[in-house]
């Protein structure tokens, strides 16, 4: 980066959202700097489950999610990598009549809004899709174009493409304060400062700290969510599996391992910058998997990990301009479901900055909605 200090836009946070914003801004010819406290993709962006779902989205997110999934189906043209994208579909299994009624109500609600991406399948249809489930499911809600990708590979691909387009990145540098001077924003990072007329806050679980530096505020709670991966087992399933009422999300990777999650909480350390695995949560999730697929009960778990997520009270992200000052934009608080949205969020923020508007109504995501 040499000694350059002045940019068109400074992005605070080098996770997937930040790298996506930088990529899209660089495509528009902007001089962009990403400032990342640790390493790009080190936190939730690079260690999540990799699920790409429109299935069961909060309804306010559905337009963004549909647009994002279209971008995922063309992700190699955007990033130069397939990011490990696999459009296997996603299903939410009903284990009993109550579950089934809940899923049917969801399908009817989404279809009443004019969307057709979620549909019910019968118990027989579920068995055809997932033969190994036998008679242990009474039906399911399915979204056939959904799937999963590789989070670490995705973060790397977005970062490398942003850099190839001219974006600069400073890693291992923490932002300590932000102030306005002569119409520009001056971002102080340890013993240096950088200036730009526009800053974008993509600081993830620490986004509220950056927002406070520019006069904005929002409630944000950190949560550590855990995953585990098993030893390899012969292929038996294609779609990503979730459950209507139990904590469950799992998929089988190409190498035969299973990645198992489902909003399993780990423990935040006192500093709230590191995590400890809660093996009681792991046990509960493993038991849920085995209740549907008993032949997995002796399959070893080989690794567990957790990432730190920023959770808003309504579980909707904060996307759009700041409230207090011009030249400030936010994209954080994705509440454990931002991975799939990243391609479109980067484009939306870049469109507002470069073109003055975006093709989506962002009112539900404004930062001042909690005031």
Q: Which domain holds residue 255?
A: 88-146+221-311
Q: Does the pLDDT at position 21 exceed 60?
A: yes
What is each CA distance from 70 to 49, 51, 53, 173, 343, in whole angstroms?
20, 15, 12, 34, 10
Confidence at residue 48, expressed as pLDDT on a 0 to 100 scale:
94
Q: Are residues 19 and 57 in the same domain?
A: yes
Q: Could you read off the pLDDT of 152-173 as tens digits, one per residue?
A: 999 999 999 999 999 999 999 9
Has residue 13 been placed in a domain?
yes
Q: Which helix (H) or strand (E) holds 36?
A: strand 32-36
pLDDT band of residue 2 (cuts 50, 70, 90) is: very low
Q: Are residues 142 and 231 in the same domain?
A: yes
CATH number, residue 188:
3.50.50.60
Q: Are residues 269 and 157 in the same domain?
A: no
Has residue 83 been placed in a domain?
no
Q: Are residues 225 and 353 in the same domain?
A: no
Query: Measured over all CA atoms, what is the biggest interatomic distance in the chain, rounded to whole angstroms?
Result: 68
Q: Could you read off the pLDDT of 337-363 as tens digits, one per residue?
A: 999 999 999 999 999 999 999 999 999
Residues 6+ apart with CB under 8 A from 41: 14, 15, 16, 19, 151, 152, 155, 156, 159
Residues 6+ apart with CB under 8 A from 133: 93, 126, 127, 292, 293
Q: Does the pLDDT at position 132 exceed 80?
A: yes
Q: Are residues 62 and 166 in the same domain?
A: yes
pTM, two decimals, is 0.96
Which ranges in 247-341 belong to alpha helices (H)? 279-292
Confidence at residue 157, expressed as pLDDT on a 0 to 100 scale:
99
Q: Could you read off the pLDDT of 262-307 as tens digits, one per residue?
A: 878 899 886 767 889 988 888 888 999 999 999 999 999 999 999 9
Q: Does the pLDDT at position 3 exceed 70?
A: no
Span 179-193, mean pLDDT? 94
Confidence at residue 272, expressed as pLDDT on a 0 to 100 scale:
66
Q: Could you read off the pLDDT of 38-74 as tens digits, one per residue?
A: 999 999 999 999 999 999 999 999 999 999 999 999 9
Confidence at residue 270, expressed as pLDDT on a 0 to 100 scale:
60
Beta strands at 9-12 and 32-36: parallel, antiparallel or unpaired: parallel
* End residue of a domain, out of 280, 295, 311: 311
Has residue 229 been placed in a domain?
yes
Q: Are residues 127 and 238 in the same domain?
A: yes
Q: Are residues 42 and 159 in the same domain?
A: yes
Q: Are residues 237 and 263 in the same domain?
A: yes
Q: Are residues 235 and 300 in the same domain?
A: yes
Has residue 210 been placed in a domain?
yes
Q: Are residues 101 and 225 in the same domain?
A: yes
Domain count, the chain: 2
CATH number, residue 116:
3.30.9.10
Which residues, listed in sequence order, are joined to residue 6 by a DSSP beta bridge? 195
pLDDT band of residue 312 (cuts 50, 70, 90) is: very high
Q: Could you read off the pLDDT of 196-213 as tens digits, one per residue?
A: 999 999 999 999 999 999
* End residue of a domain, out of 271, 286, 311: 311
Q: Are residues 227 and 360 in the same domain?
A: no
């Amino acid at each position: 980066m040499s000694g350059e200090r002045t940019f068109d836009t400074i992005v605070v946070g080098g996770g997937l959202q930040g790298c996506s914003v930088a990529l899209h801004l660089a495509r528009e010819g902007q001089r962009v700097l990403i400032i990342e406290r640790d390493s790009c993709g080190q936190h939730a962006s690079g260690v999540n489950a990799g699920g790409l779902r429109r299935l069961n989205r909060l309804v306010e997110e559905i337009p963004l999610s549909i647009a994002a999934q279209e971008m995922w189906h063309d992700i190699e043209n955007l990033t130069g990598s397939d990011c490990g994208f696999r459009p296997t579909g996603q299903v939410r299994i009903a284990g009993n009549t109550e579950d089934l009624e809940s899923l049917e109500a969801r399908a009817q609600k989404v279809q009443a809004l004019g969307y057709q991406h979620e549909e019910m399948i019968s118990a027989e249809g579920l068995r055809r899709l997932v033969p190994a489930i036998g008679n242990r499911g009474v039906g399911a809600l399915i979204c056939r174009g959904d799937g999963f990708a590789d989070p670490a590979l995705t973060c790397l691909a977005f970062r490398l493409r942003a850099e190839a387009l001219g974006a600069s990145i400073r890693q291992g540098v923490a932002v300590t304060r932000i102030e306005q001077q002569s119409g520009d924003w001056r971002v102080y990072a340890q013993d240096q400062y950088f200036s730009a007329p526009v800053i974008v806050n993509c600081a993830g679980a620490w986004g509220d700290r950056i927002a406070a530096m520019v006069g904005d505020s929002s409630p944000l709670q950190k949560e550590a969510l855990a995953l585990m991966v098993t030893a390899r087992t012969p292929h038996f399933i294609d779609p990503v599996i979730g459950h209507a009422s139990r904590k469950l999300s799992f998929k089988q990777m190409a190498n035969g391992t299973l990645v198992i999650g489902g909003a399993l909480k780990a423990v935040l350390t006192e500093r709230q910058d590191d995590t400890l695995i809660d093996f009681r949560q792991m046990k509960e999730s493993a038991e849920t998997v085995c209740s549907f697929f008993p032949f997995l009960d002796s399959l070893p778990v080989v690794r567990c990990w957790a990432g730190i997520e920023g959770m808003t009270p309504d579980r909707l992200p904060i996307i759009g301009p700041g409230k207090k000052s011009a030249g400030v934009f936010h994209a954080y608080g994705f509440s454990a479901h931002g991975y799939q949205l990243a391609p479109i969020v980067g484009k939306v923020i870049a469109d507002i900055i470069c073109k003055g508007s975006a093709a989506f109504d962002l009112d539900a995501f404004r930062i001042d909605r909690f005031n």
